[in-house]
């Protein structure tokens, strides 16, 4: 049995008391059906839930030593929770899955087969998902935009549901990013990667903790972490504005020479000044986003802070 590969199931959770029991039942059944193919461990990271999620994880860990769980001192965000989870896995490969069961854990069998063929990253590609047309179109546009301007290809319509080889995990943990965008980081590391299409299911219980504002924030993180296009656009826009200003100055001087009594444009002057102030503020904001990321890396703040843990020794904690 010990010759079989160990697969870590990494599950970040936040206020998922309505899904924990169903999730564990599916994972336990999966372990039984794949007992001749691999061994499983279940690693949970709790982002300081305010419901009974942590108590439920403690109960599961008490009766199943495959369950290992960490509770953070506060909510550090979804992407950090995933990264902290990766840090505490022991498997030869790691399957990351959300607790809401929208991504089928049973797809591990297909992922595992591709992993054994030599792929280091096997990710799920969402063909259909139970959500409104507007938000669906917004997501697709966001995936397309981030992929187009990124320095390296980022899979479209793919979330964080993926199986990652230990080599890729170790390489990922050597990355320095205070605000990680994991799908971009993993895509940019290289390795052999392949996507598997599937239909996403509806939530079994509870509501999504990922609203539109957080979706936009995650998208901006992807843009500023993996693209220099905003900086280059700022340069191009600056040169364009200066060129138009030079042409405008020449045009004005010519008019003054031809028409000495040409009226002064007080209103247009104010508009140009306000436009210049607004444009410079935009450029400063873009620069600020990049500088903020540099500052947070130099500050070397921890990915997360552990408050409690179960089935992990103190020497096993990486935070």
Instruction: Check whether residue 86 and residue 177 sit in a common domain.
Output: yes
Instruction: Check whether residue 107 and residue 174 sit in a common domain.
Output: yes
CB 13 within 8 A of CB 22: no
Q: Count of domains in the chain?
A: 2
Instruction: Check whether residue 155 and residue 138 sit in a common domain.
Output: yes
Instruction: Check whether residue 194 and residue 258 sit in a common domain.
Output: no
Instruction: Check whether residue 240 and residue 175 sit in a common domain.
Output: no
CA distances from 158 to 20, 128, 234, 284 (A): 24, 11, 29, 32
Question: Quick check: is 216 in a domain?
Answer: no
Residue 129 and residue 106: Cα distance in Å, rounded?
17
Residue 215 host element (H or E): helix 212-226
Average pLDDT of the residues of the chain: 82
pTM of the model: 0.75
Instruction: Check whether residue 240 and residue 176 sit in a common domain.
Output: no
pLDDT tens-digit map of 7-50: 999 999 999 999 999 999 999 999 999 999 999 999 999 999 99
Instruction: Check whether residue 162 and residue 286 sit in a common domain.
Output: no
pLDDT at 266 over 70: no
Question: Quick check: is 45 in a domain?
Answer: yes
pLDDT tens-digit map of 197-212: 988 887 777 666 666 6
pLDDT at 270 over 60: no
Mapping DSSP to helix (H, G, I), strand (E, B) and coil, where does residue 75 land? coil
Instruction: Check whether residue 148 and residue 252 sit in a common domain.
Output: no
Question: Quick check: is 162 in a domain?
Answer: yes
What domain range is 116 assigned to?
6-207+302-316
Please name the residues in contact with 319: beta carbons below 8 A apart, sequence gap of 6 or more: 70, 84, 87, 302, 303, 304, 305, 306
Instruction: Check whether residue 294 and residue 257 sit in a common domain.
Output: yes
Question: Quick check: is 220 in a domain?
Answer: no
Question: Quick check: is 192 in a domain?
Answer: yes
Question: Quick check: is 262 in a domain?
Answer: yes
Instruction: Check whether residue 187 and residue 257 sit in a common domain.
Output: no
CB 7 within 8 A of CB 40: yes
pLDDT tens-digit map of 95-114: 999 998 889 999 999 999 99
């Amino acid at each position: 049995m010990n010759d079989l590969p160990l697969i870590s199931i990494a599950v970040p959770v936040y206020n998922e008391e309505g899904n924990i029991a169903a999730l564990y039942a599916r994972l336990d059944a999966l372990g039984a059906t794949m007992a001749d193919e691999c061994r499983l461990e279940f690693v949970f990271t709790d982002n300081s839930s305010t419901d009974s999620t942590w108590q439920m994880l403690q109960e599961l860990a008490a009766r199943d030593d495959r369950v290992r769980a960490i509770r953070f001192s506060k909510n550090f965000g979804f992407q950090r929770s995933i990264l902290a989870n990766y840090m505490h896995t022991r498997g030869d490969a790691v399957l990351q899955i959300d607790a809401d069961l929208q991504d089928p854990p049973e797809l591990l069998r297909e992922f595992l087969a591709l992993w054994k063929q030599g792929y280091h990253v096997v990710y799920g590609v969402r063909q259909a998902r139970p959500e409104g047309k507007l938000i669906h179109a917004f997501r697709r546009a966001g995936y397309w935009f981030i992929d187009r301007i990124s320095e390296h290809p980022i899979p479209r319509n793919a979330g964080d549901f993926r199986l990652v080889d230990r080599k890729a995990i170790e390489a990922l943990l050597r990355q320095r990013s205070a605000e990680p965008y994991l799908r971009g980081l993993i895509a940019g590391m290289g390795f052999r990667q392949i996507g598997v299409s599937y239909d996403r299911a509806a939530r079994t219980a509870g509501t999504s903790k990922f609203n539109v504002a957080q979706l936009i924030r995650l998208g901006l993180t992807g843009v500023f972490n993996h693209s220099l296009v905003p900086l280059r656009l700022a340069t191009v826009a600056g040169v364009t504005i200066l060129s138009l200003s030079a042409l405008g100055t020449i045009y004005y001087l010519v008019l003054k020479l031809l028409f000495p009594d040409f009226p002064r444009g007080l209103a247009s002057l104010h508009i140009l000044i306000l436009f210049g102030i607004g444009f410079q503020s935009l450029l400063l904001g873009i620069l600020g986003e990049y500088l903020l990321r540099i500052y947070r890396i130099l500050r070397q703040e921890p990915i997360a802070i552990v408050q409690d843990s179960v089935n992990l020794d103190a020497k096993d904690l990486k935070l």
